[in-house]
Amino acid sequence: MESIPVLDDGVRPAATVSRRHRSLILSALTLGGFAIGTSEFSAMGLMPEMVKAFGVTEPQVGHVISAYALGVVVGAPLLAILGGRLPRRSLLLWLMGFYALGNLASAAAPGYWGMILARFVAGLPHGAYFGVSALTAVAISRPEERGKAVSLTMFGLTLAILAGNPLATWMGQTIGWRWAFVLVSAVSIATVAMLAAFVPHAPAEPPKRALDELRAFNRLPVWQALAIGAIGFSGLFCVFSYLAPTMLHVTQVPAAWIPLGLAGFGLGGVLGNFAGGWLFDRLSFRAAPVVLLGAAVMLFLFPLAAGDLRTLLLSTIAIGMMGGLGPVLQTHLMDVAGDAQTLAAASHHAAFNAANALGPWLGGLAITAGWGWTSTGYVGAATALAGAAIWFWAAATLRQPRREACPAA
């Protein structure tokens, strides 16, 4: 039986944490994920309000979204390394406190460039929080329930797509877009309070040297898992990013239906998240191609489904279930990262934000080339298949002798 990772701050393993205490810790971690997910996706729903407030175009507001994603990519490995000197309980508290401040800065941004900077800063703790959160959840759970534990920490992120994003959009339309980020800050502060109350104190072990953790991180299986996420998952964002114009110009429904279409991704994400954890607990890393190949089929069928509202909504739910890839890859990284647990777990979210940039870019190329709005489905299917191909390479690597599988170069 595989052993669960031991947190370097000594957070007690499953055998010494009661069921009620474990539920409280997981609830706190989930609430933090909800705050982060609401903030990450709120800019998409608040785009019309920001256009009016800053006097810029929609593509320029798109740079606000990209600034956040860039913050995640930069901050995930950086804060994971710098935070290695802290007990993980303390690191969680600092990361969520930092996140509250970043969103308050977003709410108070005086102009467009100030907003760009604020969103970049807000994105910095995103990946490190989810990485440390996943490690905490695994350490207090039984070995056979590691996938389920990780899926619970990511449940907040998928729930934010389903409920947090529509709530932020409604607030932006009724009382002002800045209040949406104030809400995120309030939820972040509530998360800090819950983490402080429920995650036990424990002394940290001697800190690891950054170079030692980087050497442990620089292994081929780690990079392969990150590549599966960055490339394979980009198909979801390819369709998600262009869903609004697809519904307007292909499905030909009023704009009022667009939030329902976006909520379809959220519902699919919630279902897929729990399914991914369940699959990993039964299939381990073999769950990844199940998710990717199933998603490739759904993405390939998306152009056929987009012509009718009913089939389009079912399609968005099915494609959203691709979110099951998240807990699968996050848990697998814990198995292959060795002494670079925190860095690898945080980098997982940097990879998924790279997918958030790659998918819309590839979809935009297809649309600009004249292939139509629904070509995003075919592009997404191709990236999902590419992710599956990387999985077969990774599986072959893991079957090799250890001395051959470990080096990245």
**Residue 270 belongs to a domain with what CATH number?**
1.20.1250.20
Whether 405 maps to a domain, the answer reads yes
Whether residue 197 sits in one domain with residue 163: yes
pLDDT band at 246 (very low <50, low <70, confident <90, very high): confident
Whether residue 224 sits in one domain with residue 194: no
Whether residue 364 sits in one domain with residue 323: yes
178: domain range? 7-207
Q: What is the pLDDT of residue 2?
A: 37
Whether residue 391 sits in one domain with residue 295: yes
Is pLDDT of 388 > 70? Answer: yes
Place of tokens 């299986």: 221
Whether residue 189 sits in one domain with residue 214: no
Residue that is last in its domain, among 174, 207, 240: 207
Of 163, 363, 382, 361, give the one whose Cα is nearest residue 262: 163
Place of tokens 């039986």: 1
Whether residue 316 sits in one domain with residue 257: yes
Whether residue 228 sits in one domain with residue 201: no
Q: What is the pLDDT of residue 243?
A: 84
Number of domains within the chain: 2
pTM of the model: 0.77
Of 317, 343, 350, give the one whose Cα is nearest residue 8: 343
Whether residue 182 sits in one domain with residue 65: yes
Is pLDDT of 201 > 80? Answer: no
Whether residue 122 sits in one domain with residue 85: yes
**Distances 129 to 102, 125, 257, 322, 345 between C-alpha atoms, Å:** 14, 6, 34, 22, 9
Q: What is the pLDDT of residues 251-297, one digit of tens each?
A: 998 877 877 887 888 899 889 988 988 899 899 999 999 999 999 99
In a 13 Å sphere around the CA of 150, the CA atoms on its Cβ side amount to 35
Whether 1 maps to a domain, the answer reads no
Of 296, 317, 312, 163, give the one whose Cα is nearest residue 233: 296
Whether residue 215 sits in one domain with residue 200: no
Whether 2 maps to a domain, the answer reads no
Q: What is the pLDDT of residue 124?
A: 93
Residue that is last in its domain, among 161, 183, 207: 207
Is pLDDT of 33 > 70? Answer: yes
Whether 127 maps to a domain, the answer reads yes
Is pLDDT of 408 > 80? Answer: no
Whether residue 382 sits in one domain with residue 301: yes
Alpha-helical segments (H) within 55-159: 58-82, 88-107, 112-123, 126-139, 146-159
Whether residue 336 sits in one domain with residue 379: yes
Whether 100 maps to a domain, the answer reads yes
Cβ proximity of 185 and 103 under 8 Å: yes
